[in-house]
Structure 1
Amino acid sequence: MSRDILLQKIDEVRSRQRSVAIGQGAARVVLAAIGLVLAFFLVDWLILARSTPGSGDRLARGILVAAMLVTLGWVVWRSLIRVLLHTPDDDAVALKVERGHPELRGRLISTIQLRRSGTVSGSKELIAALEEDTVAFVGPKHFTDIIDLALLKKVALWATGVILLAGALGAWRSDFAAAILARLALTETSYPTSAKIVKVTEGITTARGEPFTITIELDPTGTLPEKASATIRDLSPDGNGRSTELALTRQSVDSNVYVGTIDQVLSDLEFRPAAHDALWPRYERIIAVDRPAIKALALAYRFPDYLNKKPESSAVGDIRAPEGSQVTITARFNRLVTSAKLVTRNDQQEQPPIDLKLIDSGSGATIDLPILADGSWKLLLRTEDGFDNKNPIDYVIDAVADRAPTAKISFPAQDKTVTRFARWPVRFSTRDDHGVAKGRLKYVINTADEALAGTGAFTVDTQPTNAQSLDLAGLVQGQPRPEAGGEVVFDLRTLGLTGDCRITYWIEVEDGKTPTPNKGISPTYVFTVVEAAVLEEMLERDRNSLIDSLKTIRTKQKDGRDGVDTLRRELQDTPAEPPK
């Protein structure tokens, strides 16, 4: 019975010691949890929320929360779980009681140990007497007074105070408390600020080398600073994460919209706006892409067959080719395109666009362009992401016209009076930019248009319709030549002339242009046909006129010589004056 009394007192001490340890552990866990949350807030608010936006912010918070959970778990293990798993035995509790009550002088631990061991030598009566003596000595003592409650009270007081302070702060700034809990849960939540950025220009793909405008909108009910800013970070390999600040100004005095322009986007960038105490939670990315452009050109020229000219090629966009040529344009681009259109301009009027045939999945395009007139051409390109070639290059089209051939009669090259039995050689020369193909001597008998005689006033289109012709045999031998000439005998005997008449004649030539050749004519000349007697009379008259002219010339020569001789004699007879 006495032993049961001692064991009961030992159990009371053990239970009280366990309860105190659990209370202390729970208070420590509460203090650690609140402290860790406070540490998370300070690190997150002062560092992470400002320097690691977007996915980097979430990752950093995740690492921090993981470290917090590990630390809290260690505190829970040390302060609670290990206490719950460890139960001190009777000897340990008895020794603790002995240390708290030194007057027991080992009676309690000795009694506990002797009664537990059944093999101990000695009288049972002696052990029972020791047990009775120990119970009597202990009497009404309560061993639980050895448990020190000071530390428990201190820790509990601190925990209670911290809980009340945290509750009061949470109630005062519930928005901050909600933000802390949300960010602990790794959500995309920002801390409350007096200024609130509600809208930002979304990151987009923009053309390289062109300006980009950043626009932010603030909540008009919050603070509206005079200026805002945006941190611009260079993402190019050579940029090394270099950052610059771009000033954002208000659109107007009372506006809640702020804008700023990056002069040139040369590489991929990202930006993060800030206004007063508000900071956008992430960086918005700007992807710089090249506008489509012509990287290389290949022009293949095919000329009209009648020119007998070999095909040519060029890498220059400006076109110079004879009219009727066809040029195959093959363009290579700096990036893939989904559309390529050819636009030509003739006589200052732009023609409707024509689609090119895309090749190599859109890295190039080709089209056949007939050269019909002077003008220009350009390509309009568009990519899958909607970019076009801004300000495309205008290339010149110089359509070289095939000029009409020319002809010239070099002999007799003047009007003549002849008889109907005359045979006159007519010498001529011709010229053309690509070569004369055919020629003929054309004439009209008894033409009434005397005003045209010898003036060359005929044109190709106004030639008399009743003109007759003689082919110029042998004018062209082999391929057409730019220059040709020859002689044709104009035999009037074959014309069956009777009586006086007039024959107007000229040379007509044509080139090899197809389907309609160009034609050219020489100046016209006239044979005036008269009877032989009339011609003889005319010749006699001309001879006499020539003789009279010669006589006149001789008389004038003699008069001139006589005058010179007289002047010479006068000079010789005049004495020279002495020098002064």
Structure 2
Amino acid sequence: MENCALLPSMSAMPSTADTPAPVSRPLALDDAREILARIRQLRGRHGRVVLGTGLAMMITALGAWLVSETVVDFLANLPWVVRLIFLVIGVGGAVALLVWFGIRPWRQRLGDEAVALLIERALPAFRSRFIAAVQLSKNPDEGASPALVKALVAETTAMAGTMDFSAVIDQRLLSRWWKLAFCTLLVVGGLAALGDSKTWPLVQRALLARTPVPRKTLIREISAPQVIAVGDSWRVAAIAGGIVPQGGRVTLKTASGRKQEFDLPLESNPPPTFARTLQSMQESFEYRVTLGDAETDPVKVKVKARPGVSSVECQQIFPVYTRLPARRRALGDLKILAGSRLALKVRASGAMKSGEIRVVGADREKIVKASPLTIDAKDHAQLTGEIEVPAKDVAGLTLHLVDEDGVESRGAAIYPIELLADEVPTIKVTWPDRREELLTREATMLIAFTAKDDYGVARVRLNYAVDWVEGAPHKTIDLDIGTALPKEISRRFNWRVGQITPRVEEGSVIDYWFEVLDANDVTGPGIGTTEHMQARIVSDAEKRADLANRLSDTMEGLNGVKHGQEDVNQQLGEIIFEKPAGK
């Protein structure tokens, strides 16, 4: 029987994919062990042959793909998508060849009968003895004489010892494919040597790198933004290597299909940099840079609207000391108490990457204070944040946004801020009513005052100094007013002058004054002060004389009031009883 290639013969004979091989069992006779060993040997050789053939096919296919793609890419500067298709077809096809012609038949291992059939076809001298010996030995209980089976196995074993089984597994296909793979590797190596420094960049491009096609002129680096805002200028710069041309060009193709070409002049050297700035870009486009014989792949540039604010909700959070609840404010009416915080809830025009609240001064470009906005994890167009309004140098509030492409907002509205200062608390002494009082050394002086503040009085202090001069130190007594922080408070206080240490002597003058403090712990505290009043230390006699004089003054005042009342009564009577004129 004429020998034929392995793979075609495999398609014509039964396999495990067509007819399941019977489960192998030990041969019934010990004499069949040599036959079984021969079958195992040929089965292993068959597996190595099909794996080697599949590997050679894969190497050949990979070499053909690499050569064809690099050559075509060098000549035509293939786009990235086309190179991706080349890669998928080349590498995918090579792997498919390995799997289909190597791994798949290797995993579908030949059964004993299939190997015996190959032996019968390659060695006709057996005249069906080999396969009969295998089948009868595996099924000794199917009516055959044990002696006959034993004799057949012995005869077959004897014949096998004298025959050459090398031709059973056809290796001609394996040899042909490895010769082809070797030739492919020679071609790849020759082209790689011929390409010299151009080879590695072309291989990188075949593996989808964005390396430019190697030319006499090399484009070493391209610098240009890939996302800009509508109306912005766009600058492209390219650094050249190798043979540097006199100039280059940049070709644009807009989203609407319009093509434009611009010169790319040499801007600086070294390094040789070609650059151009295009003004007021209005729509997205893609561009190519050409320098000498080198050209880049098309690069897309996205032109989009700047991020903006769709809506803002604003709340004023008052300082804690005011004890006022948060209040919603309109952005056009930001009359803010110094030290307050503004809580903003911002709805942007699209998904944002970051945002910032900015407080600006009279110079709108000068940022007085800034605070970041927090982006909602589920909705990137929703931002929230707070900022404390400084106590001075504040003119307005604005928002700065950066979208997910890095485009920043510009020319945002500035909302005016009018700072409202916390008014200083006031205090008035209601007693004594004279600026100077006369006291004895052991006297107790009644003092009364009324203090007011718009958000609450926190402390009242009595300051005093004996024989005080400007700049001299003084002592302080904190008056007990409780902790309720009332907006208005009136108190009376008995000041025991006799307990002042060191004791005051006759002739001494005590200067005293009040201070009132509010609870402002942000920009304050605010402090209100009375004028200085005096208490002069006198003897008992002088004090009695003073009291007598004050009593005399009081009586005179009462007499004056009495006489004045009498005069009023008299005038009123005259008016009542006066006759009208002409009667």
Check whether TM > 0.5.
no
**TM-score, normalising length from structure 1?**
0.43
**TM-score, normalising length from structure 2?**
0.42
Which structure would you say has the larger Rg?
1
